[in-house]
Amino acid sequence: MSKAINNPKLADVKSNGKNSAVFTIEPLHPGYGNTLGNSLRRVLLGSIEGSAITAFKVAGAAHEFTTLAGIKEDVVEMMINLKNVSIKSHSENAVELTLSKKGAGVVTAGDIKTTADVEIINPEAVICTIDDPKAKIDLDLVVDNGRGYLTIEEASLSRKHSDMIALDAMFSPVRRVRYNVESTRVGQKTDLDKLILTIDTDGSITPQEAFEEAAAILVNQYQALAGSTTVKASEIEEIGAVGANKSVVDLPIEELEFSARTVNALTNGGVSTIGDLVTIYNSGELENLKGFGRTAFEEVSQRIAELEF
């Protein structure tokens, strides 16, 4: 029996819509599906960097409890709508934007005058409605980057301009994460886990980018705790997950966990390592081994395919 802790791979990524994707991760050590799935989910929802509007000012409104002539929504409603604007800033510093519109009609995120550093992801998002042809609205906005949730108190303390109205903000560009764990097998090992993770974003980042950033964050966290302790690669590699890693070819065929009959036929035929097995398989001479039947050949073929040599 192998004592290795299975080192997983990203087996498949399928698009599930414009801003959604399904990631399949396998094989995982028994029980690691939930461990990894829960960790990734928490990091994806709370630790991925994103952008949000953190403060704004409306011409003619001294505070949020104000109504504006010719504007259907009051300032509180506008605050809620501004928090629904998906935005991406490529600047390391806070960016100030403006919006100015006159005449009856719907005012949307697409009306915001952006800079080269800022993208509006959902320009169709409604900010307010002008219902008087002679009315006008002027907005000043501050866009900043961050991780997780910014409370209204924190936003107030960090305002660039004291006359602006602070907004609480959810920076995370990841909107939803679901996962489930299924059973999978590698060779004769049937108790391994398969993790299926679905990630939905707001469009300012792709699901793949979010997934990779979350994995990198977890790696950094665990490396900080591991100190100088290391684990030999041979102790953590799962044969079916390492692909064409050259260190695998020197391992004994017993690591592949074939049936006893197959192992005996291979050993009697002079096949002792995985490298020997791949060589004789590719040469087409495997079926000529004494005592090596069709069932054994199919067993080996399946394992060779999993090794991806």
Percent of the chain exceeding pLDDT 90 equals: 53
Going by DSSP bridges, is the β-strand pair 95-102/136-146 parallel, antiparallel, or unpaired? antiparallel
Structural domain contains residue 115: yes
Over residues 294-302, the mean pLDDT reads 82
Structural domain contains residue 99: yes
**124 shares a domain with 180:** no
Over residues 61-90, the mean pLDDT reads 90
The last residue of one of the domains, among 236, 251, 286, is: 236
**89 shares a domain with 126:** yes
Over residues 178-204, the mean pLDDT reads 89
**296 shares a domain with 200:** no
pLDDT score of 160: 73
Model confidence at 64: pLDDT above 70: yes
d(CA 192, CA 33): 9
Reported as a pLDDT band with limits 50, 70 and 90, residue 242 is very low
**69 shares a domain with 158:** yes
**68 shares a domain with 17:** no
The last residue of one of the domains, among 170, 201, 224, is: 170
Residues sharing a CB contact under 8 Å with residue 290, sequence separation 6 or more, in sequence order: 265, 268, 269
Question: DSSP readout, the chain?
Answer: ---PPP--EEEEEEE-STTEEEEEEEEE-TTHHHHHHHHHHHHHHHSS-EEEEEEEEETT-SSSS---TTBSS-HHHHHHHHHT--EEE--SS-EEEEEEEESSEEEEGGGSB--TTEEES-TT-EEEEE-STT-EEEEEEEEEEESSEE-HHHHHHT-SSTTSEE--EE---EEEEEEEEEEEEETTEEEEEEEEEEEEE-SSS-HHHHHHHHHHHHHHHHHHHHTT----HHHH--GGGSTT-GGGGGSBGGGG---HHHHHHHHHTT--BHHHHHHHHHHT-GGGSTT--HHHHHHHHHHHHHHT-
Structural domain contains residue 3: no
Percent of the chain exceeding pLDDT 70 equals: 90
- pLDDT tens digits for 7-49? 788 999 999 888 999 999 998 888 899 999 999 999 999 999 9
CATH number where 265 lies: 1.10.150.20
Looking at mean pLDDT, say which of 34-48, 64-78, 272-286 comes out highest: 34-48
- pLDDT tens digits for 54-63? 999 999 887 7
**299 shares a domain with 289:** yes
> In this structure, is the dihedral angle defined by the CA atoms of residues 251, 257, 262 and 263, taken in order, positive or negative?
positive
Model confidence at 222: pLDDT above 70: yes
Reported as a pLDDT band with limits 50, 70 and 90, residue 131 is very high
Reported as a pLDDT band with limits 50, 70 and 90, residue 232 is low
Over residues 196-205, the mean pLDDT reads 95
Structural domain contains residue 2: no
Reported as a pLDDT band with limits 50, 70 and 90, residue 308 is low
Domain containing 278: what range? Answer: 243-307
CATH number where 225 lies: 3.30.1360.10
Give Cα separations from 20 to 23, 120, 175 (angstroms): 10, 19, 10
**218 shares a domain with 181:** yes
Residue 56 near residue 96, CB atoms below 8 Å:
no
pLDDT score of 245: 44
pLDDT score of 130: 94
Is pTM, for the whole model, over 0.95? no
Which of 18-32, 157-171, 223-237, 240-254 is the least confident region? Answer: 240-254
Residue 161 near residue 56, CB atoms below 8 Å:
no
pLDDT score of 6: 67
Model confidence at 236: pLDDT above 60: no
Over residues 208-215, the mean pLDDT reads 95
**180 shares a domain with 40:** yes
CATH number where 158 lies: 2.170.120.12
d(CA 56, CA 249): 62
pLDDT score of 302: 82
**70 shares a domain with 164:** yes
**190 shares a domain with 159:** no
Among the listed residues 166, 174, 225, the one whose alpha carbon sits nearest the alpha carbon of residue 50: 174
Number of structural domains (the chain) is 3
pLDDT score of 71: 92
Residues sharing a CB contact under 8 Å with residue 254, sequence separation 6 or more, in sequence order: 263
Residue 21 near residue 198, CB atoms below 8 Å:
yes
Reported as a pLDDT band with limits 50, 70 and 90, residue 143 is very high
